[in-house]
């Protein structure tokens, strides 16, 4: 049985004065927008059950790097990495295994 995303720890994604964090994989770059400037954290999950109010906004294979306004803050590695968003600040990074 899958664990709910809320059972996982949150990780620091960084701080932004432009309300966005950059997600980069080997073939794609996406700006993940937030409701306002600030400091952001995400649930970092493995094969989690995601709530229906979240929408998948990014998917990559092998790795994703996360950058705030100044530097790389987080590296996530896995077979498939999904980014899910809800509302102005809700964010989940879900790593899908084999």
How much is the average pLDDT of 28-48? 96
pLDDT tens for residues 44-68? 999 999 999 999 999 999 999 999 9
8 Å CB contact between 26 and 62: yes
Q: How confident is the model at residue 98, as a pLDDT?
A: 56
Identify which of 53, 56, 44 has the alpha carbon closest to the alpha carbon of residue 8: 44
In the sheet with 55-67, reading across from the earlier edge strand, the strands are: 10-16, 38-46, 90-96, 72-86, 55-67, 20-24, 29-33
């Amino acid at each position: 049985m899958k664990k709910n995303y809320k059972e996982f720890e949150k990780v620091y994604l960084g701080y932004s004065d432009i309300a966005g964090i950059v997600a980069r994989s080997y073939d794609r770059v996406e700006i993940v927008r937030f409701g306002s400037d600030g400091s952001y954290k995400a649930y970092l999950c493995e094969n989690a059950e995601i709530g229906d109010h979240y929408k998948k906004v990014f998917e990559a294979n092998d790795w994703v790097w996360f950058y705030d306004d100044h530097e790389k803050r987080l590296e996530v590695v896995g077979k498939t990495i999904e980014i899910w968003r809800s509302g102005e600040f809700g964010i989940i990074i879900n790593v899908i295994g084999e």
